[in-house]
Structure 1
């Protein structure tokens, strides 16, 4: 039973914490500042009830400082390298500076709501992005939820989960997008050729016609590219991440999304793709021929090389490659001389990731089965649909056919479409495979 005592005009209550001291005596915890002895007594009874039922929060635990808890929580996470880097930066720059001196158990809901409001106000002023605010609140929310449900540092989380219909309605702001047009992609690809050579030309068409994520493209090795794979598959037969039916793709060109390229502990590392979305992507014939030409022009292990011939990871890709491609740039003289590159107005200030969005639009527009679309995009179907649905070879072939039809329609209807010369002769007669490209590029002298 608890007991109370008066000290300096205030009542204090003590109760058994459910533990014993090294000398065998019971360990007690206390709370003071009560004006009424009955209230103090009831408080002590409540704490002992929690001890008996295993729901008590030890005072020393609830007084853990956020500056310590944040990093204990971070070390307990098991996430992909890029997520760990992002979480670490958020904790360093946003959470510890604001909350570090506070005890985990002392943070209340009103303070959290005020902080959330301040972050959103900063986003409205343009000081930080709205996406960054969402990421900060997501990390902090997970941290505080775990403090209650997983680590028992407090009884409940101070985070209020917003419910529909509560508070002032704010329409969700979505990124404004245009339908992905072939003419726009062609202008991007031509600019990419000026900025980056045949690697750039092929990169734009590959992004648009496969829907691969950027870091998956950075991690695409020549052994997994359509001219070589699956004959060159380097994985062991019992590797669970390996395509289970390699024979299926012996008769239709396909590339394998096996890795993405990321920094891990300061080292360039091939890691599993996002959401463990290993997948095989059938490619249309015109893209397959581009890949053949590109691989014949170099002996790098990477499909797409940087300006220096190395991997794209580690380059300032946005500034050195993508921005000049979409926004254009002035003429340049000297060793790396080139003519002025015109902007592509439809893509100015836009993310290259929108090429992946555009690929999804095409698949939807051509009315392919949902399971084939989601699998190609690297998504996993849930529920009954995910259990029963299956991607057949016929579905994949139809996707390749509609993508090829889209390419051929563009090159036919546009007429004299500029196409770059192949970088190196191939060990096959290209005239039998892509006569339109050969005939149009043969007379061009692009240096």
Structure 2
């Protein structure tokens, strides 16, 4: 039973918290731990002893029905965010992203709150604050992370009885939910113009870079920057370092050209590293003969371990790719005459590609997916596998990509090129001049020596 004590004008009530004091070894003793209060709210005193007594009864009822959260189990949001973040197993880039969102938004907002003090009303206020202050995508990601925090606080760490995020059924006027963004139509002529612009900016390497994304669906920039010589079609699968994989791949792709998506590359702590592809989507991409010939020409023009190198022959990861490559390719640029001293940097005017206005280079990957869907007779499992996706449900478990499916993809993509580019009379550049014999006959490095973070 609660105990009420009056001292002058103050009234205080004590009740058992449901816990016991601990001894020196941290084991519970028989001595009960009590909590107390001098009012129902901070700064508001009890009006009389009956109110205090009833308040104590309610707290003891919470203890009996396990609705209370003893002070020893309370944890501040800042401490919880730090402990939660340390418990995660993330890739380097995801680690930086999560840490940034916690530090920039979640921890400052909830700094004065305990985990179990956050109510649905408080969460709604937080949601309004975030959605008004930040962009749609950023606020969506922050709120999604906060939901993970609260779910773990309830299920995993038992710091709350239930989440403050209440999902309600729709009320009011119906609004259709947009499940996918409406894309502008992207004709082959527009992709060709991007490739022409890339040739103006970057030479034959740029021309091949654009068509590689468009006809393989490889993810830019990570997978494209991380494509190494040894995993490109002129060398793979003969250069495959795993003997078992090499033997199987040589037999399977004896009559086909294929490149291997084995890594992506990005900066981690200002250092270039190799990591597994997004979602661990290692895959082999069969490619049409015209693209294989482009890769042969690109790799014959340099001796670096990367398939695609910068204008100066360095890693693309060392460049400001958007500003110096993609934006001029997409948005066009004025004529540049640098005079006799910097003659090699001169270039003609570059037209903008209106269909790609404001779009990311990732749009070419979407174009590839749409192209594979057009004929209607390429199995879905082959398309999704090529995109680095997994089919859900039974279809994903029992389906597999066969050689016949890959041959169908190669034949179809080659016909697209011959009909929509060559047959349409669109411009194609001459292949680069062959290199001197001593360089061609040399053994260039097949793989990069970057630190490998394949399993982070």
Q: TM-score with structure 2 length normalisation?
A: 0.84
Match of 1:15 in 2: 17
Unaligned runs of 5+ in 2: 41-50, 438-456
Match of 1:187 in 2: 193
Match of 1:351 in 2: 360
Instruction: State whether structure 2 residue 129 is matched by structure 1 residue 118.
Output: yes
Match of 2:53 in 1: 37
- Structure 2 residue matching 1:421: 3-state secondary structure: coil
Instruction: State whether structure 2 residue 240 is matched by structure 1 residue 228.
Output: no
User: After the TM superposition, which residues 150-299 of structure 1 pair with which residues of structure 2 at under 5 Å, given as runs?
Assistant: 150-161=156-167, 163=169, 165-166=170-171, 169-173=174-178, 174-214=180-220, 215-235=222-242, 237=244, 245-299=249-303
Q: Deviations over 1:223-276 (max 9, x none)?
A: 0001110001123648xxx89644211320000111111223332111111111
Instruction: State whether structure 2 residue 90 is matched by structure 1 residue 85.
Output: no
After TM superposition, give the deviation of residue 412 of structure 1 in Å. 4.2
- Structure 2 residue matching 1:14: 3-state secondary structure: strand
Distance 1:28 1:48, change over 3 A: farther
Contact 1:81 1:262 (C-alpha < 8 Å) held by counterparts: no
Q: Deviations over 1:168-194 (max 9, x none)?
A: 644445433133321111100010111
After TM superposition, give the deviation of residue 422 of structure 1 in Å. 1.4
**Alignment counterpart, residue 418 of structure 2, candidates 397, 404, 408:** 408
Instruction: State whether structure 2 residue 23 is matched by structure 1 residue 26.
Output: no
Match of 2:62 in 1: 46
Higher alpha-carbon deviation: 109-118 or 254-263: 109-118
After TM superposition, give the deviation of residue 370 of structure 1 in Å. 0.8
After TM superposition, give the deviation of residue 82 of structure 1 in Å. 1.5
Distance 1:401 1:426, change over 3 A: farther
Contact 2:16 2:34 (C-alpha < 8 Å) held by counterparts: yes
After TM superposition, give the deviation of residue 326 of structure 1 in Å. 0.6
After TM superposition, give the deviation of residue 6 of structure 1 in Å. 3.4
Distance 1:26 1:366, change over 3 A: farther
Q: Deviations over 1:200-233 (max 9, x none)?
A: 1111000010011111111110100011100011
| Cα distance in 2, alignment partners of residues 204 and 339 from structure 1 | 19
Instruction: State whether structure 2 residue 405 is matched by structure 1 residue 395.
Output: yes
Distance 1:160 1:246, change over 3 A: farther
Match of 2:440 in 1: none
After TM superposition, give the deviation of residue 95 of structure 1 in Å. 1.4
| Cα distance in 2, alignment partners of residues 359 and 57 from structure 1 | 55
Contact 2:261 2:277 (C-alpha < 8 Å) held by counterparts: yes
Higher alpha-carbon deviation: 151-160 or 209-218: 151-160
Q: Deviations over 1:401-445 (max 9, x none)?
A: 111110000234422x221221232899xxxxxxxxxxxxxxxxx
Distance 1:31 1:248, change over 3 A: farther
Unaligned runs of 5+ in 1: 123-127, 429-447
After TM superposition, give the deviation of residue 400 of structure 1 in Å. 0.9
Match of 2:72 in 1: 60
Distance 1:27 1:401, change over 3 A: farther
Contact 1:213 1:356 (C-alpha < 8 Å) held by counterparts: yes
- Structure 2 residue matching 1:72: 3-state secondary structure: helix
| Cα distance in 1, alignment partners of residues 248 and 152 from structure 2 | 38
Higher relative contact order (CA closer than 8 Å, sequence separation 6+) = 2
Contact 2:288 2:414 (C-alpha < 8 Å) held by counterparts: yes
Q: Deviations over 1:94-119 (max 9, x none)?
A: 11222223222222211211221232
Contact 1:16 1:26 (C-alpha < 8 Å) held by counterparts: no
